[in-house]
Structure 1
């Protein structure tokens, strides 16, 4: 089969690779769409710690094209989203159903060949039906589940005001999930006017460009002087990770979804706010709960089917598999404005 192979840091070659033999409890999925994640960029550039050569891609969807002997709940042609997370099922966290915290997990797209290929092999429990959703929407269920994990975990209440830092793909999905949960208003914060305009189109009531406006003053203005009930950090920036601690009201909540790529040093006032204002601070990792893969996945799919969460509008580029390296170059060098970039191992009419 054809696959985009990571040979070493920053080197991706599309070539023929041998298909993995199918075990009795596995299925083979013909990949129709696979998204490039921001974490793929970081891992590809400097942070890859898994065996090479490798095939990345953990956001993908397609149709089942081969079924193992011990698989009775799936059939050929089923339209599915891939679940890339492989929990051990035996550690103390898995035994409690806290799969996101598994101590021995592996990942499709890291430990095993992922979705930047014509086909991918998965355990039978690692696919979820997408029904009549498009394959591109199916490929976005994984990042949607990440957003859902954070929103469900922070437990927003009806009438809450929420500040969302970082209006990338996850940030936009968090905005939508918060509105589905019934919050009163969402305040989007970014340093790109284009991203803030996009947040407005997805339901954010207010926007703040933190390079051009005073963040704390604007949040107070939009919350009648009280501060936000919740802050959701989706940028993975040491700047926004600290700013969350300055704009939340007393007994407010802060949810961290963005990965920390640098040390986060806290000014005295920001740190004091944690205890003087009695904040609740929670981190959110991965997107899984019990029963596996969790309501993050099942609820997310239903919200998309019901039209409550929009995914297709977030896709800016559709790139053939053979041009995967060019797609990564574009994203790394920011040669064009982009949102979600989809790799298309096998084009079909539905996605045109």
Structure 2
């Protein structure tokens, strides 16, 4: 099979790789769409921590072309989404059903070969049927589940006012889940006017660009001086990770979904707000619960199939498998504004 093989940081070679036969408990997926995650590009400009050569790609879908003798949950020809997380099932967190916190998990696309290839072998327990769902939409189930994991556990109340920092893919998906959860008003916060316009089109009532307006003053203006009930940090920026603490009302809740890529140093006011306002801070990692892979995945599939979630609108670029390097260069060098970038290993 052909694959985009990573040989060092941001150095991909489109080459032949062996396609292995299925084990008894595995299926072989013909990959039809694979998304590039924001964490993928960060790994290209910092340090790749996993074995090389590697085949990246943990957000992907396709259809089953081969299955092992013990597989009973899917049939050849079924359209499926891949679940990239491989829990150990033996640590105390797995035994408690808190799979996201597994202490010895595997990961397709980093610790083992992923979806930037024509075919991928996966355990049958790591695929879910998607019915007649579009493959590109199905390739976005994993980030959609990540956003839902945060919204489910921050537990917004009907009528809340929420702020979302960073309206990239995760932020835009979180906005949609907040709407479904009954949030009355959402304030989108980003330094890109183009992204803010997209957020407004997605249903955000208010937008703020902190490079142009005083963030705290604007939030107070929009909330009668109280601050927001819920703040979700989806940007992974040390600036926004602090700003959440400055705009949330007393007894408010803050959810951190963005990864920290550098030290976060808090101002005196930001830190004091945690206890003076009795804020609740929650962190959200991955998107898995019991029964594996959890309601984050099954609800995501249900809501997509019912047409309640907009995904196609978030896809900005599509590249064939042989142009994977070009796709990463676009994102890393920010050659142009982009949303979700898809790799298309096979054509229908």
TM-score by length of 1: 0.98
- CA RMSD between the two structures: 0.8
CA-to-aligned-CA distance 1:10-58 (integer Å, 9 cap, x gap):
2100100011332111111000000011111111232211110000000
Secondary structure in 2 aligned to 1:50?
coil
Q: What corresponds to 2:222 in structure 1?
A: 222
Contact 1:147 1:170 in 2 (8 A): yes
Q: What corresponds to 1:133 in structure 2?
A: 133
Q: What corresponds to 2:202 in structure 1?
A: 202
Secondary structure in 2 aligned to 1:47?
coil
| Distance (Å, rounded) in 2 between the aligned partners of 1:172 and 1:291 | 27
Secondary structure in 1 aligned to 2:264?
coil
Contact 1:6 1:44 in 2 (8 A): no
Gaps of 5+ in 1: none
Task: Give the C-alpha shift of residue 326 in structure 1.
Answer: 0.9
| Distance (Å, rounded) in 1 between the aligned partners of 2:303 and 2:202 | 14
Task: Give the C-alpha shift of residue 81 in structure 1.
Answer: 0.7
| Distance (Å, rounded) in 1 between the aligned partners of 2:128 and 2:72 | 14
Task: Give the C-alpha shift of residue 148 in structure 1.
Answer: 0.4
Q: What corresponds to 1:146 in structure 2?
A: 146
Q: What corresponds to 2:20 in structure 1?
A: 20
Q: What corresponds to 1:36 in structure 2?
A: 36
Secondary structure in 1 aligned to 2:329?
helix
Q: What corresponds to 1:115 in structure 2?
A: 115
| Distance (Å, rounded) in 2 between the aligned partners of 1:299 and 1:346 | 27
Contact 1:22 1:68 in 2 (8 A): yes
Q: What corresponds to 1:73 in structure 2?
A: 73
Q: What corresponds to 2:169 in structure 1?
A: 169
Where has structure 1 moved over 2 Å in runs of 4 or more? 44-47
Contact 2:143 2:170 in 1 (8 A): yes
Q: What corresponds to 2:306 in structure 1?
A: 306
Q: What corresponds to 1:155 in structure 2?
A: 155
Q: What corresponds to 2:295 in structure 1?
A: 295
| Distance (Å, rounded) in 2 between the aligned partners of 1:239 and 1:107 | 29
Contact 1:273 1:279 in 2 (8 A): yes
| Distance (Å, rounded) in 2 between the aligned partners of 1:157 and 1:102 | 29
Q: What corresponds to 1:212 in structure 2?
A: 212
Q: What corresponds to 2:90 in structure 1?
A: 90
CA-to-aligned-CA distance 1:213-232 (integer Å, 9 cap, x gap):
11111111111221100100
Q: What corresponds to 2:185 in structure 1?
A: 185
Task: Give the C-alpha shift of residue 333 in structure 1.
Answer: 1.0
Contact 1:30 1:64 in 2 (8 A): yes
| Distance (Å, rounded) in 2 between the aligned partners of 1:290 and 1:44 | 32
Contact 2:165 2:231 in 1 (8 A): yes
Contact 2:162 2:186 in 1 (8 A): yes
Task: Give the C-alpha shift of residue 347 in structure 1.
Answer: 1.6
Name the count of aligned residue pairs.
348
Residue 267 of structure 1 pairs with residue 261 of structure 2: no
| Distance (Å, rounded) in 1 between the aligned partners of 2:68 and 2:242 | 49
Q: What corresponds to 1:59 in structure 2?
A: 59
| Distance (Å, rounded) in 2 between the aligned partners of 1:236 and 1:318 | 25
Gaps of 5+ in 2: none
CA-to-aligned-CA distance 1:129-151 (integer Å, 9 cap, x gap):
11111000000000000000000
Contact 2:74 2:129 in 1 (8 A): no
Residue 10 of structure 1 pairs with residue 24 of structure 2: no
